Amino acid sequence: MEPTCRSSLWLGRSVCLSLPPSSPLIQAGAAPRAQPGALLTSLSPSPQLGALAVTLGVLLALLGCAAAPDPTLEEAWEGWKSLHAKEYPGEDETFRREIWEKNLRHIQQHNWEEAQGKHSYRLAMNHFGDLTNEEFKRLLNGFIPAQQEELGPVFRASETLKTPVRVDWRAKGYVTPVKNQGFCGSCWAFSATGALEGLMFKRTGKLVVLSEQNLIDCTRKLGNRGCCGGHMERAFQYVRDNGGLNSERVYPYVGTDNSRCRYNPRDKAANCSGFVRVARGSEEALAQAVATVGPVSVSVDASSFRFYKSGLFGCGSGSWRTNHAMLAVGYGTTRMGGHNLSYWILKNSWTERWGEQGYMFLLKDAGNQCGVANQASYPLP
């Protein structure tokens, strides 16, 4: 499956704003699929919510008018709050509204630049719109890099191994629906369960949704910190040492780390014998692991991911401190701007309202973008 284009709060070129029955200017749901080349030009309205085309000049006037509250922008704010069930006590609403408008302007500026060919991806307003950058990083980036890696098997790239040009484990039934970690820094647990879900499907042919809460509650003794962060390898270690992991059905997610460990051995929905690290920094090794093993847990620098909506994302040049865990479920290539570009398919845990129905397409073989190959691992049968 290629990157796609859907309607949302498009603030660039000709602006397509999806409308619930009573509120304009907010993000909508899915629209028809498009190829990546068309992704940067196709702005399709949501069939569920309808759409309103607004010229860029009108929107700029909206955002630039400070003389008086604009009724359309006010309606957009109210609609966004309604869509995402946001409520604010007293004066806090004014503060959050200011943050939301600042983020709105950032999205508009980026998408205007994308229309000029300066970016390969678009942004859209979503449920993170009332957070500052600092709050976003603190609440949702919960991957804690290992300070000292233990000895163990390492997957290294093979010069003789030939891998497919495209891999997408979603199409093979290995991947469960996109989940929601909420305001809990538990991305590491979602990444780990994703890799374990793929492993168990490969072994049994059955796709079972596994319990992140089981990992949050029961891996503190191994160094994980629940909603304050953790590491996938410690999760795999727990499953190995514990002899199993519960399903989501038996051990449901609550998004807090105040619970005692309640593992039920009678519902052993998954197990593993250990884990393998992918050679640090090697995208070639990561691609070979994804192609031959299945979904692989990865960590990335997600500092600038917040409003990603579509296209091929890149962090730019430089070194990155990975702070968020995702699941690599495949990779592929596409034609864009007259060039062949490769991308990773990454599953996130920020709901289907984020990105491409919960997924990101990250530039591949472009200098280890966002540090995607820095700390990758997968469980062993």
111 tagged catalytic? no
Q: Which of 72, 127, 63 is closest to 98 using CA atoms? A: 63
d(C-alpha 215, C-alpha 189), whole Å: 6
CB 100 within 8 A of CB 130: yes
d(C-alpha 379, C-alpha 293), whole Å: 10
Pull the structure tokens for residue 227. 């909603």
d(C-alpha 343, C-alpha 339), whole Å: 13
Maximum distance among all alpha carbons in the chain? Answer: 67
Which listed residue (324, 368, 370, 374) is catalytic?
324
Which listed residue (348, 368, 370, 374) is catalytic?
348
Name the CA radius of gyration of the chain, rounded.
21
CB 231 within 8 A of CB 195: no
State the number of CA atoms in the 13 A half-sphere of 96 facing the CB: 18
CB 23 within 8 A of CB 76: yes
324 tagged catalytic? yes
224 tagged catalytic? no
379 bridge partner residues: 275
- Residue 228's contacts (CB-CB under 8 Å, 6 or more residues apart) are 142, 185, 257
CB 69 within 8 A of CB 97: no
Which listed residue (5, 16, 187, 218) is catalytic?
187
- Residue 31's contacts (CB-CB under 8 Å, 6 or more residues apart) are 5, 6, 7, 44, 45, 46, 47
- Residue 343's contacts (CB-CB under 8 Å, 6 or more residues apart) are 3, 312, 331, 332, 333, 334, 361, 362, 363, 364
d(C-alpha 42, C-alpha 55), whole Å: 15
State the number of CA atoms in the 13 A half-sphere of 275 facing the CB: 28
Q: Which of 234, 232, 211, 210 is closest to 223 using CA atoms? A: 234
Active site residues: 187, 324, 348
